[in-house]
Structures are given as structure tokens and as C-alpha cells.
């Protein structure tokens, strides 16, 4: 019995670096995909931006607009990129990746959009928000099954940081 437990422990220790290396490889692939997303936003290319989603994917933007399917998502991006997001710059930092399997992950991103204009045409402050996307690897690429962008607010009565 002790030999069996020892063998199991040794096998687990041997497998651990392999699992971690695979996650690091996928982390790099997800980071690359996020960098490609940032570039698509900064090109202001709604069709390219929508191509990051599965055909039946969905999106809720930080202003509460919910779209389903790449046609609706592309239309939302077209409206945004020709309106309030025209000329903006997107940047984001992946804060956490949680794998739900080999090819499914939940990715949390701290995001910022700069260059927005206020309704009076003056420069608006950077728009900081959070994006969580559920991604699936298909054909070697990570695509969004769904994405949720939101703004966090302080708890009522809590002191701001």
C-alpha cells in the first residue's frame, strides 16, 4: 500500500509540471488573442472585432446593450466605432485565467478606453472597466462564447480607494 501511494505521489509530481506548462502555453495563446483584440479595436474594424466571437456568441457591453450572434455584435461595434468610440484607444491587462477544461476558459481583463469625448465635445477621462469573457479554443484559436463588460462601483457607505 505504501509503495502504491508513493508511486501515485511521484506520478503526480511528474505530471504537475506538464499541466503547468500546458496552461502557460495556453496563457500565452490567450494573451496573444487579447493583443489581437486590442489591435482590432484600435483599427476601429467592427467586422474584425466581431470575428473574435463564435457565430452564436453574445456580448453585453458596459452600457447594458446585449447582442447575440456575430451580425448583432458587428452592428453594435459599428455603431460604437462610428459614434462615441470613434478615435479611441483600447488597452487591457489580463488579470486571471481560469480553465474549465482543456479548451474552455474564463478570462478576466482590467480594461481602459482612452480618447472618448464627453457630450459637449471635451475630452472625457479614461473609461476604466472590467471584461469577463468565456472563451473556447476552436481550430487553434480562442474565440468568445460570451463577453461581459462592466464598471465596478464602490459599495454604498464604503470609502473609495
- Measured CA to CA, the distance from residue 59 to residue 76 in angstroms comes to 10
Q: Which of 7-21, 53-67, 95-109 has the lowest mean pLDDT?
A: 7-21
Q: Does residue 8 belong to any structural domain of this protein? A: yes
The DSSP string of 117-152 is B-TTSSBPPPEEEEEEEEEEEETTEEEEEEEEEE--
Evaluate if residue 5 carries a pLDDT over 90.
no
The answer to whether residue 44 is domain-embedded is: yes
- The reported pLDDT for the residue numbered 157 is 86
> How far apart are alpha carbons 32 and 90 in whole angstroms?
15
CATH number at residue 90: 3.10.450.50
Q: How many structural domains compose the chain?
A: 1
- What percent of the chain clears pLDDT 70, i.e. is strictly above it? 84
Candidate from 4-8, 84-88, 116-120, 142-146 with smallest mean pLDDT: 4-8
Residue 155 lies in a domain: no
Q: Is the pLDDT of residue 148 over 50?
A: yes
Domain membership flag for residue 160: no
Q: Residue 138's pLDDT band (boundaries 50, 70, 90)?
A: very high
Element (H, E) at 105: strand 104-114
| Residue 87, domain extent | 2-150
* pLDDT at res. 158: 77
Q: Is residue 69 domain-resident?
A: yes
Q: C-alpha angle 112/31/26, rounded to 5°?
A: 150
| Residues whose CB is less than 8 angstroms from the CB of residue 67 and which lie 6 or more positions away in sequence, other chains included | 58, 59, 73, 75, 76
In a domain, 93, yes or no: yes
The pTM score is 0.81
Query: What mean pLDDT do residues 92-116 have?
Result: 97
* Whole-number pLDDT of residue 119: 85
Is residue 161 assigned to a domain?
A: no
Residue 23 pLDDT: 57
d(CA 55, CA 72): 10
DSSP string covering 48-86: HHHTTEEEEEEEE-TTS-EEESHHHHHHHHHHHHTTTTT
Q: How far apart are CA 120 and CA 49, in angstroms?
A: 28
Q: What is the pLDDT of residues 67-90, one digit of tens each?
A: 999 999 999 999 999 988 999 999
Give a yes or no: residue 157 inside a domain: no
Amino acid at each position: 500500500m505504501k509503495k502504491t501511494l508513493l508511486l501515485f505521489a511521484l506520478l503526480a509530481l511528474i505530471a504537475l509540471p506538464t499541466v503547468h506548462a500546458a496552461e502557460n502555453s495556453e496563457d500565452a495563446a490567450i494573451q496573444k488573442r487579447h493583443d489581437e483584440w486590442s489591435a482590432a479595436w484600435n483599427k476601429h474594424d467592427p467586422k474584425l472585432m466581431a470575428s473574435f466571437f463564435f457565430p452564436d456568441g453574445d456580448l453585453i457591453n458596459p452600457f447594458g446593450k446585449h447582442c447575440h450572434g456575430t451580425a448583432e455584435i458587428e452592428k453594435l461595434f459599428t455603431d460604437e466605432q462610428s459614434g462615441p468610440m470613434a478615435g479611441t484607444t483600447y488597452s487591457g491587462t489580463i488579470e486571471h485565467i481560469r480553465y474549465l477544461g482543456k479548451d474552455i476558459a474564463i478570462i478576466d481583463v482590467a480594461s481602459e478606453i482612452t480618447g472618448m469625448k464627453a457630450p459637449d465635445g471635451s475630452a472625457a477621462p479614461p473609461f476604466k472597466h472590467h471584461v469577463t469573457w468565456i472563451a473556447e479554443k476552436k481550430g487553434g484559436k480562442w474565440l468568445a462564447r460570451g463577453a461581459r463588460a462592466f464598471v465596478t462601483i464602490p459599495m454604498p457607505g464604503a470609502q473609495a480607494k
